[in-house]
Amino acid sequence: MTGQPYSATEMMICLAARQMCDGTTAFIGTGIPMLAASLAVRTIAPNLVPIFEFGGTGALLEQLPRAVGESRTFHKALAASGICDIMETAARGFIDYGFLGGAQVDPYGNLNTTIIGDHAHPKVRLPGSGGANDVGSLCWVTIIIIPHDRRHFVPRVDFITTPGYLSGPAARKAAGLPERTGPIRVISTLAMMGFDRQTARMTLLATHPGVTVEQVMDNTGFDLIIPPEGVGINAPPTAEELRILRQEVDPERLYI
């Protein structure tokens, strides 16, 4: 436990870091995933192999990269290749975790980072896929990190940039995607969600400290499944996690 105040962003970073297992590979995107990977390497997963879209594999994250293609993603790396090699690595089944964000997520974990509104006449054009489609399609498991409100948690995404479970439990296989892949966690500013094995719909697993189930439901644009065993409470960041995050991972406060 910690007596220190912490932000919702710091809570998400710490919770995301705790999902990583030592000795695994993780496809790391810009922003919070970078901080989570850096924190995990310094705490529970010293042998984590971070993989970046533009070719850096196994870099020592001594300093926080500012983007997925800059020099620090290659610093003392195990390998320096390119984007095609990285996507092939995922297609071959060698990347365990993928961390993704988005503008919209729906009950089946489909993500939109392409457009808001009608595709032909969108209200907003977003950055697009980049490697996000490949990550969600090919990594063994995906962890989604996203702010929690009805604007982000929607009944139906305006565009499927990255497939979750599409329309249900059998839809990924029918679409030709590898079996046993897909999102396993959604980490938001309010809670942590999983996915029901029978329906592939999003399930509320645990709220952040001080957040009620009602608050989560009120800020979600669809019905979350409440598991029969009840909803837990995520442990807050520890004093050591906050120290490492603030003093070693992101001392310039680029993201926190």
Q: Which residues contact 149 (CB under 8 A, 6 or more apart)?
A: 219
Amino acid sitting at position 121: H
Active-site entry in 10, 53, 240, 248:
53
220: which 2 tokens? 């979600």
Give me the long-range contacts of 21-24 (CB less than 8 A, separation at least 24): 21/45, 21/48, 21/96, 22/46, 22/47, 22/48, 23/47, 23/48, 24/48, 24/49, 24/96, 24/97
- What are φ and ψ of residue 19, in 5° steps? -80, -15
Q: Is 53 a catalytic residue?
A: yes
Q: Which residues contact 112 (CB under 8 A, 6 or more apart)?
A: 102, 103, 104, 105, 126, 157, 158, 159, 160, 161
Q: How far lies 171's CA from each of 23, 108, 200, 219, 223, in Å? A: 31, 10, 10, 27, 20
Asked whether the beta carbons of 113 and 30 are under 8 A apart, the reply is: no
Catalytic residue list: 53
